[in-house]
């Protein structure tokens, strides 16, 4: 009974926040803006193959029409085609466009929630990037599919329907950026693609799902209000690229040559996809110490799917000039390091605190 009462109070508080924020008006439908970037959800089968397909072939209007039930939702849905590409070709320019468009739409009160259609290969990276740069409470929900739109039993229509439900749900407000896939809702920080074949493609590295969708609606199993603004204030009208940062995958019997070489080629930051708890062979550690002494920021993550990369676990990070990524996988650690470099954050305590996920409300601004 206490849990039910707590959930009721949390929902009531969320509703009050929405009213105070002017996001709900009597007699109006929640407004969802769908921003399309392509991917398998927009894919079509190749004529010369029974199994192959080309991603990013269908426009978003056609995709929405193919999803039964969207037109009957009590939601006002508008859609825009940002790009139409495979997600292996995702880049900072598209991230920049998405961040600017969402910020503009919130400022102009064009939408209450957002859905971004995206290829699955790099969805977790785009979602994490937006979670770090958007200073909004409006839900941003990523969605895609593992089967192209023209395939029998395509999973895109159901996933898109679920994502629109999630983006328009009052309980989604204040939860940040999420991924909605195969009925599961995952937070952007921990969501990761865990299968390259199955429709249950996404999983969480820490903590599991935060909610789920079904025929009765959207259901959260974690309390709301936990999301905090952790925003890097980048001037996207001036910034056209992020500092070059490379990921080095560590294997047995490996030397530090690639670490040294990527710095020679201009890398300002290096993320180590280490073994176990972010560990690496002795010469790789030596290389990390060398490049750190040159002013290059080095972060240790892990190639292992689940768990934390702890600071000072098997050796003293300060002795080698390295930082621990904690719960961020190498791809997301790279994005956070790029943002720190772009914002010219050089204080070792602030850098490590950023990877801890605890910045105590500090906003980092790019220096002019």
Residue 181 and residue 144 in contact, taking contact as beta carbons nearer than 8 Å: yes
Q: Which three-class secondary structure state does DSSP give residue 189?
A: coil
pLDDT classification of 9: cutoffs 50, 70, 90? very low
HEC secondary structure over 23-74: CCCCCCCCEEEEEEEECHHHCEECCCCCCCEECCCCCHHHHHHCCCCHHHCC
* 322 is annotated as an active-site residue: no
Whether the per-residue pLDDT at 110 is higher than 80: the answer is yes
With a pLDDT cut of 70, the percent of the chain lying above it is: 86
Q: How confident is the model at residue 262 (pLDDT cuts 50, 70, 90)?
A: very high
pLDDT band, residue 230 (cuts 50/70/90): low
Residue 278, Ramachandran bin (φ over 0: left; ψ between -120 and 50: alpha; else beta): left
Question: What's the pLDDT score for residue 235?
Answer: 87
Q: Which domains does the chain have, with CATH numbers?
A: 24-220 (3.40.50.1170), 242-360 (3.40.50.40)
pLDDT at position 207: 84
CB 37 within 8 A of CB 119: yes
**Share of the chain residues as helix, strand and coil, in percent rounded to the nearest 5:** 35, 20, 45
The Cα–Cα gap between 115 and 29 comes to 16
Q: Round the average pLDDT of the chain to a whole number and report it.
A: 88
Q: Which residue has the tokens 């003293």?
A: 316
- What is the value of pTM for the model shown? 0.88
Query: Which residue in 170, 166, 169 sits closest to 179, CA to CA?
Result: 166
Higher confidence at residue 303 or residue 234?
A: 303
CA distances, 58 to each of 27, 42, 54, 76, 123 (Å): 34, 5, 10, 22, 18
pLDDT in tens, 318-351: 999 999 999 999 999 999 999 999 999 999 999 9
Give the active site residue among 28, 37, 40, 200. 40
């Amino acid at each position: 009974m206490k849990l039910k009462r707590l959930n009721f109070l949390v929902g009531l508080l969320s509703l009050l926040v929405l009213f105070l924020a002017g996001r709900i008006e009597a007699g109006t439908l929640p407004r969802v803006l769908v921003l399309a970037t392509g991917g398998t959800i927009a894919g079509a089968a190749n004529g010369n193959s029974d199994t192959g397909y080309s991603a990013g072939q269908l426009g978003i209007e056609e995709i929405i029409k193919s999803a039964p039930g969207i037109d009957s939702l009590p939601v006002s849905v508008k859609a825009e085609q940002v790009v139409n590409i495979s997600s292996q070709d995702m880049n900072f320019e598209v991230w920049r466009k998405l961040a600017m468009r969402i910020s503009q739409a919130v400022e102009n009160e064009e939408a209450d929630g957002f859905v971004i259609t995206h290829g699955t290969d790099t969805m977790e990276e785009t979602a994490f990037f937006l979670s770090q740069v958007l200073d909004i409470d409006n839900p941003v929900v990523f969605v895609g599919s593992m089967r192209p739109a023209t395939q029998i039993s395509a999973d895109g229509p159901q996933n898109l329907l679920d994502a629109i439900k999630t983006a328009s749900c009052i309980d989604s407000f204040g939860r940040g950026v999420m991924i909605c896939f195969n009925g599961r809702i995952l937070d952007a920080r921990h969501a990761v693609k865990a299968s390259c074949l199955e429709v249950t493609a996404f999983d969480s590295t820490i903590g599991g799902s935060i909610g789920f969708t079904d025929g009765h609606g959207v259901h959260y199993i974690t309390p709301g209000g936990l999301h905090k603004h952790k925003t890097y204030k980048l001037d996207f009208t001036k910034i056209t690229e992020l500092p070059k940062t490379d990921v080095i995958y560590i294997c047995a019997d490996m030397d530090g040559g690639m670490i040294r070489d990527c710095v020679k080629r201009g890398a300002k930051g290096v993320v180590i996809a280490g073994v176990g708890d972010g560990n690496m062979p002795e010469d790789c550690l030596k290389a990390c110490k060398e490049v750190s002494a040159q002013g290059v920021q080095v972060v240790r993550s892990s190639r292992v799917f689940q768990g934390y990369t702890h600071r000072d676990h098997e050796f003293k990070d300060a002795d080698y000039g390295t930082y621990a990524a904690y719960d961020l996988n190498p791809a997301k650690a790279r994005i956070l390091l790029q943002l720190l470099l772009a914002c010219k954050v050089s204080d070792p305590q602030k850098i490590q605190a950023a990877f801890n996920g605890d910045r105590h409300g500090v906003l980092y601004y790019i220096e002019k």
